[in-house]
Structure 1
Amino acid sequence: MGSDVGLDTLRLLPLNQVAALKLKAAGEPPDPELLPVFQLMSWGVKNGLQSTHRRTLTELEALQARKPQDAYDYLVANLPGGLPGLERQLLKLQPRAAALKLLDVLDMRLKADPRNPYPSD
């Protein structure tokens, strides 16, 4: 993808489309400032989901402050099972479970990042 793709273009990617469906099913209106994948994770946290590490929530906020393309690319880099596999899994889940799955993906991604001083426990 290009280095500075707009939010509207990123919203058309399948992962964001699936996240938007889950948000709609939860009765959550789209946030014009966030990609649906990050909005779904934030929605889950606001609705009582716990992440494996407190640090994950801090990193979620930091990702949301980055350029949308950079944040999206970071999240989906080196996904176990690939992006289409994750999209298929999310489609089958209820909104809360989908949000939790995405938080788990972020958690795994952070643990795998050698530049991130992230707890390994």
Structure 2
Amino acid sequence: MGASRRACDEAEIFMSKILCDRSRRLTAAHIRTQQFFLPINFARITEMVPPIRIELSGPSDSSHFEQFPHEPLPVAENLDMCDPGFQWTHYEVDGRACAGNHGHDNNNNLNAGAH
């Protein structure tokens, strides 16, 4: 049984409000007012009984994660597209950069993301 179309639409709208430019992103307070989170009493969340209680053998116990077979990483084929000067290091990817201006505005200034 799949999710309803309405639930899928609401989830898509919610995700677009949190996976976006930082200036338009929902704050934690706004997230708590979204339909999905309304039943949660955040003031008493630490008192809630979790739906699943997992027993761990220690801090590094990863036995509850799926095991995947090792696969080699793909080999880069088009190295002329790499960033030899590390110009994009610590830059936040945004729509302007993805639109093809490669991090420069029309005045040829770098559009650095928040550091």
Query: What is the TM-score normalised by the length of structure 1?
Result: 0.24
**Could you say which structure has the greater relative contact order, defined with CA pairs below 8 angstroms and 6 or more residues apart?**
1
- The structure whose Rg is larger is 2
Query: What is the TM-score normalised by the length of structure 2?
Result: 0.25
